[in-house]
Amino acid sequence: MSEANPIDNFMDTVRQATPVLGIAALKPKGACWYCNQPLDNVRKFCSKTCADDYRTEEEVFRNIAK
Ligand SMILES: [Zn+2]
């Protein structure tokens, strides 16, 4: 509980260097990340379509942000 764990630091670096993680880095929030339809606490999207659309929008946003 004292100093930062070197592995945590490494993972932070990986996360920053690989924005491709995108959806994989999302945490289930009890609703679809795309359309907000209520879900269980395991899934991130209510359907593959929502996952695909979310990924598409995220890529667009990332391209704009460059
Ligand atoms: Zn959805």
Predicted pLDDT at 1? 63
For the chain, give every domain's residue range.
28-66
What torsion, rounded to 10 degrees, do the Cα atoms 7, 15, 13, 16 define?
Answer: -160
Q: What is the full DSSP assignment across the chain?
A: --SPPHHHHHHHHHHHH-GGGHHHH----SB-TTT--B--SS-S-SSHHHHHHHHHHHHHHHHHH-
Rounded to the nearest angstrom, the distance between the alpha carbon of 8 and the centre of ligand 1 is 32
Q: 11-62, pLDDT tens digit by residue?
A: 676 555 445 567 888 999 999 999 999 999 999 999 999 999 999 998 888 8
| Residue 9 pLDDT level (bands cut at 50, 70, 90) | confident
Rounded to the nearest angstrom, the distance between the alpha carbon of 58 and the centre of ligand 1 is 15
Predicted pLDDT at 11? 66
For the entire predicted model, the pTM comes to 0.61
